Structure 1
Amino acid sequence: MKDYPIEIDDYLSGNMSTSEKEAFETRLLTDIELSKELKLQKDMQKIYEDQKWLEEDKEILKTEKAVKLKSFFESNEAKSLKSTIDEVISENRATSTDKTFWFMGIAASIAVLITVSLFVFKDTNYDELYASYVHLDEIPSLVTRGEDTNKMLEDAQLLFEEQKYQKATELFTTYHQKEKSIDPLSYIYNGISYVELNKFDEALSQFQLLGDSNTLQAKKANWYKALIYLKQEDKNKLKEILQIIVSDSDNYKYQNAKELLAKID
């Protein structure tokens, strides 16, 4: 068995002489397996060792998974696990001359960390959930047959249906500013348009206006707010508003809210 783990450990910890380091780095240019092993150990060190977490890659720190992972590895549970692994590795290195056994200790440690990470951070696929619960065809049309329809609303709905969400929001906003009597359905169309543009604060404001409209459509506001939190992957706020919906079986989308609660728990 090749001694990659020990060589890599010596390389990363600075225990190689200058000539050994040069020879090792030369081998990296042609030894694909060695290069892969080095990358693996570097990646694990970024999470496992007591150093600034992923310091050299600021973009990674912005991701949702990175924030969750960092939070977990800073927790007391993770520190206890790390301490136990440290003891096992230290004992293996100090008492065993069998490099294979020492490597197995390292491999087992990595496996434990990966397993715990997968268990703790098993993601709900929020994108798929959002796609399965947002049914745009359920929104009643703003265009009523046999009745005069506000031309601005008609054009705004057409833009929405063509997925030209930015232009749709601009026209809906103009309509809201100009008209004294507002069709509450326009808040739904405008809110969903903002969601599709990832402008969540603007979307929430539209659904708040919907909830305050004192119309039959107002009862739908909480469900559309839930869709925003689902799109944002904000589990806490999503659960809060879903619990409000399921508190009364007469609430709009009561059954859907119950199903969604079960899926995200």
Structure 2
Amino acid sequence: MTPEEKYELFERKISNEISIEEDRLLSQIIEDDQTIAKEFKTYKEWNSYLSSNLGLDTEKAEVANNLKDISDSFFTKETQKTKSKVIKMPSWGYAVAASVLVLLGVYTFTKSTTPVYSDFVSIPELSISERADANEIGKKAEEAFNSNNYKEAEVFLNQLLEEDKSNSEYLFYYGISLVELDEFEKASEVFTTLQNGTSIYKYRAIWFEALNQLKQKNTDKCKVLLELIPKEAEDYQTAQELLEEL
């Protein structure tokens, strides 16, 4: 994987535009390579700064659109000698920093003392329509959820659960929709049910309940939940990163 491909994968991940296959690939790479894990963490911090601290969505979009063009000029100058550096960062980091400075002006990037929900949430894609038993409501739920239309997704997923109350997949994505809609108590009820069950969503539910608490700034509750996530869980590495920052 080239540096450009790696960075583009980072961008799709934090923009929730990543495919299931790419998401699994990135998760495996981050788990196997601590250097890449730190690079991804650094990029998320920059992205969070733009989203939360500056609040300039238009400029952020321009940054994303210009990243590759600007980064190319850096990646093609591998033999160029640089002057002394105060801080070491991966090569793609200079491209990101340069694009930000060009488009937004000179800012001092400061890390927030407390991590926020948007720093760590990565919403998985819902896939129902390809199944043989998929009905019209399932297709509508999938389309709404994957389009970030969580209000409609909540309605359709609730209808699916009325027909199949024990379906852990519907329940999991219903819980995520509730968190995105700031319906925190209802989301906690959903994730607690999954946490106490034995489905494949057991540990993912703990992770998203931790994020649910983080979004409410309930740091202590978030920490307790993060410590319940075992090493074999999909979200273990990211949970450890969040624990370290809390």
Q: TM-score, normalised by structure 1?
A: 0.46
Larger radius of gyration: 1
Q: TM-score, normalised by structure 2?
A: 0.50
Higher relative contact order (CA 8 A, sep 6+): 2
